[in-house]
Amino acid sequence: MKSLLPYVSTPEDLRALPAELLPGLAREIRDFLIDKVSANGGHLGSNLGIVELTIALHRVFDSPGDAIVFDTGHQAYVHKILTGRRGAFDELRRRGGLSGYPSRQESAHDHLDSSHASTALAYADGMAKARRLVGGDPRPVVAVVGDGALTGGVAWEALNNLGAAKHHEDNPVIVVLNDNGRSYAATFGACADHLERLRAAAADVTVFEQLGLRYLGPVDGHDIPALERALRAARELREPVVVHCVTVKGRGYEPAEQDLDEHLHAIPVTDPATGQPLKPAATTWTHVFSQHLCLLGERRPDLVAITAAMPGPTGLAAFGRRFPERMFDVGIAEQQAMASAAGMAMSGLHPVVAIYATFLNRAFDQVLMDIALHRLPVTLVLDRAGITGPDGPSHHGMWDLAALSVVPGMRVAAPRDAVRLRELLEEAVAHDGPTALRFPKAPAEAEIAATGRAGDVDVLSSTGQDVLLVAVGPMAEPCLGAAAMLSAAGLGVTVVDPRWVIPVSSDLRELARGSGLVVTVEDGLAASGAGALLRQVCPPGLRVLNLGLPCEFVPQGGRSELLAEAGLTGPGIAHAVREELRAWPL
């Protein structure tokens, strides 16, 4: 049979296909996804599960006039295929290539750039209100949301507003609930229990109806005719409605269906025949943290762990298997994670909250007012800090140092290698106030031994005090490279690692006072991170150069590639120092 996929580049092409050809098209799309995502890495399981649903959406709704908004945009690959971007998948998630999330720069069919969970319903509520105020015939707004995203509080805030909007005439907001029983791991909690009862037809009234929305379903999310009927019925209602679609994550690809932990949610470059990575997994910072937390858990019965729906990616799964009664998954709800941790700490426990650094932003108020205000012993472990790579601007963990630098009483550690990660984790959980530990998404660095110690500060190398290079965490290695280049040119250079970078220690201030030029290097914002704090406490007249990331949204690309573009390599740091000294000689 002739391939259909090359002839389907727009929603109009899709709507022109006879219904009997659609199952074949769905199979071709799955084969295409397996091939391209295996070659580049990316989100596979979530997209395999939404093939038929995306086909039905684009046959029923007229995008982009009818807005289709994807919550947690990693499930938008099929949408991209059907809106003219199939040919760009060879460059998926590469620098300058196809984004792994919706992107307004790529297509008019994409209405968002953000890819943090639980927000699409609020976007849809706002878009519908604006369309109603502008006048004319309001076009439908469709929010595609996974059941995992319903564990986030902002989703329920939006549902609360959408339910109230039933009193307005002609408010066509359609919430398409893509229910596969999972986020990264299995979804659980009261909402998950309710959806399970709905799937089993064991609930008389849905929570959505109680909130004021209409409810249609459950619908087999892999039955295109049934999906089209339900979506057309929802469109005709012209009021807020939930269409409950039951799907299978990883559908149609045996390795994904057999991966019971995450259904190949996100994969590296992989053998498509087996679903196994082509390169052996390196020991990562996450793995080192995971192992040592389990050891600490053996010694400390008061130690508990909290995850926001990511036990595997943040390294807490092993702790949960070892100490199941001391591991808590709160769902995609970082605010709940932090406030709950505060309650536990008030009651005699020491919580370790492990989240991605980019998601710390979502819980800043709780860190500030619930944890820090009460000076509670809570340890935040910030995975994927700094540049994360191909996930792009919404996932770079580059704001954590800037945010935590203004939190009174907060101590932040940045290990330079695996040995220091273990040491600093032990110090963090022994502290009687709030602490944070940050590390990148990367293989764990080989040990970088100190050559000396100045109080709390590790001295990594020293040929003199012309230049003091202050390395924040994994920036130690490029700082040592820069020091070698500068020393060869006749400068006296000392490289130090403060270990605890927030607040600035008195020992680091003393080292800075004796230097001609102080240069801080961090993979956070140059203008407002750990280096900026040091600049503030240095005496007037002391020259301080802060190197780091620009205050802008950094695009997707390889981690090393993006760090090089920001000048955060040995040659880049050495060049910045030379330029500074050329402008203002010692």
115 assigned to a ligand binding site: yes
253 assigned to a ligand binding site: yes
| Distance of alpha carbon 336 from alpha carbon 111, whole angstroms | 28
**Tokens 């008019």 found at:** 108
Q: List, in sequence order, every beta strand (DSSP E) within 291-393.
A: 303-307, 327-329, 350-356, 379-383
Q: Two tokens at 394?
A: 């919404």
116 assigned to a ligand binding site: yes
φ, ψ at 63 (rounded to 5°) = -75, 145
Residue pair 493/518 in contact (Cβ under 8 Å)? The answer is: no
The bridge status of strand 214-220 relative to strand 241-246 is parallel
| CA angle in degrees (0–180, nearest 5) for 496-474-320 | 125
| Distance of alpha carbon 313 from alpha carbon 356, whole angstroms | 9
Closest CA to 98 of 555, 434, 462: 555
74 assigned to a ligand binding site: yes
| Distance of alpha carbon 139 from alpha carbon 172, whole angstroms | 7
Residue pair 244/260 in contact (Cβ under 8 Å)? The answer is: no
Of the candidates 28, 239, 334, 445, the residue annotated as catalytic is 334
Catalytic-residue membership of 565? no
354 assigned to a ligand binding site: no
Residue pair 519/471 in contact (Cβ under 8 Å)? The answer is: no
| Distance of alpha carbon 441 from alpha carbon 436, whole angstroms | 16
| Distance of alpha carbon 181 from alpha carbon 248, whole angstroms | 8
| Distance of alpha carbon 126 from alpha carbon 121, whole angstroms | 9
Helices 530-537 and 506-513 pack at an angle, to 10 degrees, of 70
Q: Two tokens at 377?
A: 């012993």
φ, ψ at 368 (rounded to 5°) = -75, -55
Closest CA to 159 of 121, 131, 214, 128: 121
The Cα diameter of the chain in Å comes to 80
Where on the phi/psi map is residue 309: left (φ > 0), alpha (ψ -120 to 50), or beta? left
Of the candidates 249, 416, 420, 535, the residue annotated as catalytic is 249
DSSP for 201-254, please give it: T--SS-HHHHTT-EEEEEEETT-HHHHHHHHHHHHHH-S-EEEEEE--TTTT-H
148 assigned to a ligand binding site: yes
- Provide the b/e sequence for 438-461 (b: ≥16 CB within 10 Å): bbbbbebbeebebeeebeebbebb
Closest CA to 460 of 452, 472, 468: 452
Q: List, in sequence order, every beta strand (DSSP E) within 455-576.
A: 457-462, 467-471, 493-497, 500-502, 517-525, 543-549
Q: Two tokens at 11?
A: 């929603």
Cα-based torsion angle of the residue sequence 59, 61, 63, 66 in order, rounded to the nearest 10 degrees: 180
Of the candidates 362, 416, 441, 499, the residue annotated as catalytic is 362
160 assigned to a ligand binding site: no
Q: Sign of the CA dihedral 280, 283, 285, 286?
A: positive
Catalytic-residue membership of 249? yes
| Distance of alpha carbon 401 from alpha carbon 266, whole angstroms | 27
Catalytic-residue membership of 36? no
147 assigned to a ligand binding site: yes
Q: Give the residue ranges of the annotated binding site.
A: 74, 115-117, 147-149, 180, 253, 334
Where in the sequence numbering do the catalytic residues fall? 249, 334, 362
- Binding residues for thiamine diphosphate are 74, 115-117, 148-149, 180, 253, 334
Annotated binding-site residues for Mg(2+) read 147, 180
